[in-house]
Amino acid sequence: MSRVYNFSAGPGALPEMVLKKAASELFEYGNAGMSVMEMSHRSKEYIAIITETEERLRRLMNIPDSYHLLFLQGGASLQFAMIPMNLMTNNKKCDIINTGAWTQKAVVEAKKFGKVNIAASSEDRTFAYIPAFERLALDPDADYVHLCYNNTIYGTKYTGLPGTGDVPIIADMSSCILSEQYNVKDYGLIFAGAQKNIGPAGLTIVIIRKDLMKRVPENLPSMLDYRIHAENGSMFNTPPTYGIYMAKLIFEWLEELGGIVEMEKINRHKASLIYDFLDESMMYRGNVDREYRSLMNVTFTTSSPELDAKFIKDAEKSGLVTLAGHKTAGGMRASIYNAMPVEGVEKLVEFMKDFEVKNR
């Protein structure tokens, strides 16, 4: 059996080395006499795993002590509700920059808890760009500004952050965390579902500035309360133990590779292989304005929906799978997360060239 190159937007490909290591430890972890899946989350072996996972992510992202790092469940989608419930509590209003489905979902949830100001939107051109910062209608009294740093569906990415003064920035980094360097101190809160650059689905990472905990109201259901999760070291209830263990292996792999500095270089190289070809091709067209092109999700089309469908089918026959764009966007999307090797991207570009010659 041979493995394919999986361009899925998430759950996405995982590094082969990590899968092999997990397989080798699946039946018995160290001298524990059992699998990690069977372990009590309070056992000394498991405490060592979660502690190491946290230490590694703190090192990789340079997360200061003034931030909590939480391992939660409920996906990034639960954060669309937890963020306003916990933090939209001073003036009961927030700003959201709308760059597509993931911020639209955040708007729907936040509206249940207060007033939402859409500070800007790129909907007029099907979310093909990030709104210019100087045109943002930011409210200085907002409790926070919410943005999605990398839009997985449309393939856009921020290249910097708007100035928001004392208003904290909350960033959805589900599809870009660990792909390039970020300065955690620029954010009040960063959240990410694991199933792209961190590990299997089921784990959600939240990095939150400690002083924001003062805003958390007293009466929240315990499982929705950041303070309770922080006070209990992400062990208020049973955490997603195996997902956290897999994250540890991914973080180990990343550190051995040279950390995010090296990963970012590789990611820029991979993305440029596709974008450079898109720019010279007569048949394909990238969907996004150049300056906002995502490093992780490359969206493009051919000259017709029929040819797009043929592209996706033929690519699959060549072992290049899950290249269809999101159902709301159409066309193609190559998700080239950290685990996608350079060879996978080279194979894709080779296939694209060949397909163009044959279908011109």
Ligand X SMILES: Cc1ncc(COP(=O)(O)O)c(C=O)c1O
Binding site for ligand X (CB under 6 A): 10, 75-77, 102, 148, 152, 172, 174-175, 193
Nearer to ligand X, 21 or 105 (CB): 105
CA–CA distance, 353 with 358 (Å, rounded to integer): 9
Nearer to ligand X, 6 or 302 (CB): 6
- Residue 102 beta carbon to ligand X: minimum distance, rounded to whole angstroms: 4
* DSSP character string of 190-244: EEEESTTTTSSTT-EEEEEEGGGGGG--TTS-GGG-HHHHHHTTT-SS---HHHH
Nearer to ligand X, 234 or 302 (CB): 234
SS3 content of the chain, % helix, strand, coil (to 5): 40, 15, 40
- Residue 178 beta carbon to ligand X: minimum distance, rounded to whole angstroms: 14
Nearer to ligand X, 109 or 225 (CB): 109
Spatial neighbors of 265 by CB under 8 A, at least 6 apart, are none
CA–CA distance, 81 with 109 (Å, rounded to integer): 5
CA–CA distance, 123 with 130 (Å, rounded to integer): 10
Nearer to ligand X, 175 or 302 (CB): 175
- Strands lying side by side in the sheet with 145-148: 67-72, 204-209, 189-193, 169-172, 145-148, 93-98, 115-121
CA–CA distance, 279 with 50 (Å, rounded to integer): 44
Spatial neighbors of 119 by CB under 8 A, at least 6 apart, are 95, 96, 97, 131, 136, 137, 138, 139, 145
Nearer to ligand X, 77 or 272 (CB): 77
Rg of the chain taking only CA atoms, in angstroms:
21
- Does residue 171 sit in helix, strand or coil? strand
- Residue 203 beta carbon to ligand X: minimum distance, rounded to whole angstroms: 9
- Please tell me which residue in 93, 157, 196, 270 is annotated as part of the active site: 196
Examine the residue annotation and report whether 253 is marked as an active-site residue of this protein.
no
Nearer to ligand X, 152 or 234 (CB): 152
- Residue 98 beta carbon to ligand X: minimum distance, rounded to whole angstroms: 13
- Residue 235 beta carbon to ligand X: minimum distance, rounded to whole angstroms: 21
Q: By Cβ distance, which residue is nearest to ligand X?
A: 75
- Please tell me which residue in 172, 248, 270, 308 is annotated as part of the active site: 172
Examine the residue annotation and report whether 172 is marked as an active-site residue of this protein.
yes
- Residue ranges of the alpha helices (H) in the chain? 16-26, 44-61, 75-87, 101-110, 226-231, 241-257, 259-280, 305-317, 342-359
Structure tokens at 102: 């993931």
- Please tell me which residue in 102, 143, 248, 253 is annotated as part of the active site: 102
- Checking DSSP bridges between strand 204-209 and strand 285-286, what pairing results, if any? unpaired
- Residue 105 beta carbon to ligand X: minimum distance, rounded to whole angstroms: 7
Q: Taken in order 17, 19, 25, 30, is the CA torsion positive or negative?
A: positive
- Residue 352 beta carbon to ligand X: minimum distance, rounded to whole angstroms: 24
Active site residues: 102, 172, 196
